[in-house]
Amino acid sequence: MTAFTLPLTGVDDLAETRAVNDQTEKMLDQLVPLPVENDPIAARDFRRHGGGGFPPLTLLPDGRPATMDGVPVRVFKPPTVRGVFLHLHGGGTVIGSADGQDVRLWQLAQSAQVAVVSVDYRLAPEHPHPAAADDCERVARWLVTHARDEFGTDRLTIGGESTGARLSVVTLVRLKQRHAITGAFRGAMLSFGGYDLSMTPSARRFGDRNLLINTPTLHWFHEKSFPGLDPEQLRAPDISPLYADLTDLPPARFSVGTNDPVLDDTLFMAARWAAAGNRTELEVIAEAWHGFTLQPTTVARRELAAQDEFVRTAVQSIK
């Protein structure tokens, strides 16, 4: 008989987490949900101006625009560079941008001593799948070849939030299957990703609760990014990497809250990651929402510090 225990973190900080959740939910209840508005352009503008529970954009002079293999990126380069972190932003491949997290990415760059490359991949519905995945793959391959010349190091890591976490796994699998590249990336930092776009039980059962994203919002993102595909087609490994061959992938840190529609996605992917023989860290935070690291809470600050340490350790480790 095998026993499996899944400890929850953040239990001691539940009062603070609940207070922030309640405050954010009241604010979101006054807004029109994305699927009702049905305007991706307006949704992007709304996000950029601090709407929908997201913090307002703060552009830092430390981030500079560049291109890598023709793909626009935003680069943060601290005084000491020991590695490179390839960042893929969230937003369902419909909203979001490379300049949407300047403060966080500059913090990570300095704390972990890594150059951060954030990809401004193409968005749907103007550019449906596989546009976003293609752009991420191109930048990853460019870094494998040119990172040492550009940044003085070829110690690479990758990661992102929500859709960015999914695209990170898709990119690693593509590098392995299409180009026989394994071992180039030393770690994957995967925050509250959705890895099965045909919808895991938690995503299907979440309903229309207005907690940043919900089941209708997930359907809306999928319809914009993968038009005309049925659930079986959405299970293609290049779309839903939960179904991919996950052998020979780097160590990964997964984090998710229990009040997140993609909770099961993280639980299932972490289990498959470990079963495939890859080193796996899993952090499950009590009652945290999707995107909880954007909130001003103790559990968010603690998780961001743990992510900094994960990236720092990955680029400084001896393989």
> Does residue 236 contact residue 243 with C-beta atoms inside 8 Å?
yes
CA 100, distance to chain mean position in Å, is 13
Q: How far apart are CA 264 and CA 269, in angstroms?
A: 8
Kindly name the residue from 162, 168, 198, 225 that is annotated as catalytic. 162
Instruction: Identify whether 162 is a catalytic site residue.
Output: yes
Containing 297, the helix (H) or strand (E) segment is: none
Tell me the C-alpha distance between 148 and 145, whole Å. Answer: 8
Candidates 222, 240, 290, 308; catalytic one: 290
Catalytic residue among 260, 264, 265, 308: 260
Q: Is 89 a catalytic residue?
A: no
Q: Residue 198 catalytic?
A: no
Q: Give the separation between CA 102 and CA 57, rounded to whole angstroms.
A: 8
How far, in Å, CA of 121 to CA of 97, rounded?
Answer: 8
Neighbours of 162 (CB within 10 A): 26
- Contact (CB, 8 A) for 212 and 188: no
User: Hey, which residues are catalytic here?
Assistant: 162, 260, 290
